[in-house]
């Protein structure tokens, strides 16, 4: 350590920690959530994934940070869960591979905006954090899942609630 330079306070992560907790952890958690669906039916995975997302939102210092965390979660979730869209476009639709990959990525990015909106809403409504932010986070995720299934005729695949149906509590 260089003389005269104090380490960051324990409660606040440095830049690398902020990237890990704010982006990489939610991205991995989103991909983990897919294991709650067929053929795995590991119902605990989406529960743990949402807990990790709420942890990232709890540590967010602004609505923008929470929105980015939510977007990263949604991107991991949908890129891992709707890869069949690429197959539909490329194999069955005869779309060129690069264009099918881009279209799939943009589709997943659109769907990830719902988790971004949930994170933004959660932190905007409860700037102080704590239990209120956690409950608002859960409510925002449920509301955005509903909106995603309804808006523009909806996208009913990968609803978190259905991952709990086969063997969940």
Task: Note down pLDDT in tens along the chain; length 169 residues.
Answer: 455 554 444 445 566 666 777 799 999 999 999 999 989 989 999 999 999 999 999 999 899 999 999 999 999 999 999 989 999 999 999 999 999 999 999 999 999 999 999 999 999 999 888 899 999 999 999 999 999 999 888 888 898 888 888 677 7
CA angle (135, 138, 143) in 5-degree steps = 125
- CB distance 86 to 100 below 8 Å: yes
C-alpha closest to that of 82 among 161, 157, 160: 157
Predicted TM-score (pTM) of the model is 0.87
């Amino acid at each position: 350590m260089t003389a005269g330079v104090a380490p960051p306070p324990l409660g606040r992560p440095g830049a690398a920690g902020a990237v890990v907790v704010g982006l990489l952890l939610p991205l991995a958690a989103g991909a983990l959530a897919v294991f709650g669906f067929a053929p795995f039916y590991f119902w605990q995975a989406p529960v743990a994934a949402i807990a990790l997302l709420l942890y990232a939102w709890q540590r967010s210092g602004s609505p923008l940070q929470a929105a980015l965390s939510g977007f990263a979660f949604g991107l991991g979730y949908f890129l891992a869960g709707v890869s069949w869209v690429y197959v539909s476009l490329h194999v069955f639709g005869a779309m060129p591979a690069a264009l099918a990959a881009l279209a799939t990525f943009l589709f997943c990015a659109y769907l990830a905006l719902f988790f971004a909106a949930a994170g933004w809403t959660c932190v905007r409504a409860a700037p102080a954090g704590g239990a209120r932010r956690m409950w608002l986070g859960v409510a925002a995720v449920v509301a955005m899942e509903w909106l995603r299934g309804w808006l523009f005729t909806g996208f009913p695949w990968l609803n978190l609630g259905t991952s709990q149906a086969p063997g969940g509590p």
